[in-house]
């Protein structure tokens, strides 16, 4: 199976989950299981019904050994904005559809395809570098499109309390200028 097929199938699997903000609808369970298989330690840092998945691999970012080793975080969200009137869509919003070489569905752009790309990239990287230096991590929330108070903001405060501070962060947002 090619990596390209993997990323498309994974994006479709996420789009099928009706994760209208602040619902996660099982997206993080799917992502968390994939990360566990790659050797990540996973934890839910949930608050007020918001699902926040924290996962890391390599050097424990809360340990003294983390000082001076690189820490790259992938950040993103599983929630989507409400789909609005179904009749306004050319295909059902939660039935991923390929048309003219493009993937359509709520969250295809913002940002389930980004999550799928991150996971496929990390899968390939870990296969090539199983004993990589430093720390790889994911911080995924289900509260970005709504109030966005109990999502990344909440989790990053908890991580900071543990002394965890990533040096680099890749954010999968398509919509930021």
Is residue 80 a contact point for Zn ion (CB under 5 A)? no
Segment contacting Zn ion by CB under 5 A, of 28-36, 79-87, 107-115, 122-130: 107-115
CA-CA-CA-CA torsion sign (93, 80, 77, 22): negative
Q: Is 79 in the site for Zn ion (CB under 5 A)?
A: no
117 binds Zn ion (CB under 5 A): no
When binding is defined by CB under 5 A, the residue of 59, 73, 111, 155 that contacts Zn ion is 111
- Residues 146, 148, 177, 12, CA torsion sign: negative
> How far apart, in whole angstroms, are the C-alpha atoms of residue 21 and residue 10?
20
What whole-number distance in Å separates Cα of residue 110 and Cα of residue 119? Answer: 16
Using the rule CB under 5 A, is 110 a contact of Zn ion?
yes
φ, ψ dihedrals at 24, nearest 5°: -105, -30
Question: Which residue, 126 or 155, has its beta carbon nearer to Zn ion?
Answer: 155
Per the annotation, the verdict on 173 as an active-site residue is no
144 flagged as catalytic = yes
Binding residues for Zn ion, per CB under 5 A?
A: 110-111, 173
User: Which residues carry out catalysis?
Assistant: 79, 144
């Amino acid at each position: 199976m090619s990596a390209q097929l993997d990323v498309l199938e994974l994006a479709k699997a996420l789009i099928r989950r009706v994760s209208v903000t602040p619902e996660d609808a099982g997206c993080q369970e799917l992502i968390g299981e994939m990360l566990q298989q790659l050797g990540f330690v996973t934890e839910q840092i949930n608050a007020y019904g918001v699902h926040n998945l924290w996962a890391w691999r390599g050097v424990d970012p809360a340990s003294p050994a983390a000082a001076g080793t690189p820490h790259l975080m992938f950040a993103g969200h599983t929630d989507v904005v409400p789909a609005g009137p179904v009749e306004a869509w050319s295909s059902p919003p939660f039935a991923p559809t390929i048309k003219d070489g493009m993937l359509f569905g709520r969250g295809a752009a913002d940002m389930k395809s980004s999550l799928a790309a991150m996971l496929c990239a990390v899968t390939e990287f870990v296969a090539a570098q199983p004993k990589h230096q430093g720390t790889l991590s994911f911080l995924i929330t289900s509260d970005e499109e709504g109030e966005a108070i109990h999502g990344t903001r909440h989790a990053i405060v908890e991580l900071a309390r543990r002394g965890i501070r990533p040096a680099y962060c890749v954010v999968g947002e398509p919509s930021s200028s």
